[in-house]
Structure 1
Amino acid sequence: WPKADTAAIDPALSSQMALVRRLVELGRATRAESGVKTRQPLSRALVAVTGFETLSPELHAQITEELNVSSLASLSEVGGSLVDTTAKANFRALGKRFGKGVQDVAKAVAAADAAALSASLRDTGTASVEVNGEPVALAPDEVIITETPREGWSVASDSGATVALDLEITPELRLAGLARDAIRLIQEARKNSGLDVA
């Protein structure tokens, strides 16, 4: 077998590509949940995840193409107006750390500002709540964040990453979707007839 040249591996690029794949998976999941076909172009996707701002324009273009959207932007640019956010304790994860004190932590999480908790977990990978006068740091797997999209949006979140798709289909977008469907049907007919695409 050939030996891999480990010196050619770019850890930063590998990490960024993993992030791109994660965002594309989330975007496709929310598209499937909303019932909008992948071939139907959408106007925009909004993303919130640690490291998004470090992605190159080429990787932004890759996400835009994979999700079939016209534009891609950070969710922070439009604020939290797209979703209603709730937070609750993940008893399984917190129970290991706090034992019988898990109820106090759960109450603190429930009383906290869910949107601020979500933003902190997404931006820094940690969030803090006050339990019996003491600050307690929480990891993303210790808090269950639920984001319910407002009308006209479909949102998917997982482990601190969120992708929101604008589901409004303008007449121009509808025509673009029909064109993609026509191309697909013609290409399938070519293949089934044994015709060379060239």
Structure 2
Amino acid sequence: MTLCPDDELTRLLEGMAQPSGPTLEGLKGAVSAYPDDPRLHFLLGSVLIGEGQLIDAHEHLARAIEIEPEYHLARFQLGFFSLTSGEPERALDVWGRLDRLPDDHYLRKFVDGLRCLIRDDFNGAIASLSEGIQLNQENLPMNSDMQLLIEECHKLLGGQTADDAPSETSATSLLLNQLSGRGPGH
């Protein structure tokens, strides 16, 4: 397996942060040059989500974890993407391997919180997502996305317990309304 050299990947990432940085085509070119690099598939999949190219995004995120099943961030992103696409069962399946992470890993806490959200357990979601935010020093933009979910859970609870929360609000509708077209860290 040939990976994109670290200096080239760094230039690509730095360039993407600039308004005149590499285009989507440039990123696709890097994937073509290094088709077995899971990092590039993850990056391209994440960018494609933002571009609204959801089928291609799913393919690249899935390819990233096919190449590297222990690429935890890509696995989380693919599960989150599935959840926000209205496929909670697929998300749960994708996230299954993340249960192997230590109990105090931020991705594990985020997944636990999202599982609570799927069950409409808003109090549990708030607790687990909050713990994940406290633990996450690796990918700080993800904390903002998880904080948005926490704030929405608080609004839905309106001072009520999870059992008293409005029954017409589902976790999927919450996610679709709040993060449509967004992935963690964006």
Greater relative CO (CA pairs within 8 A, separation 6+): 1
Alignment TM-score, normalising by the size of structure 1? 0.20
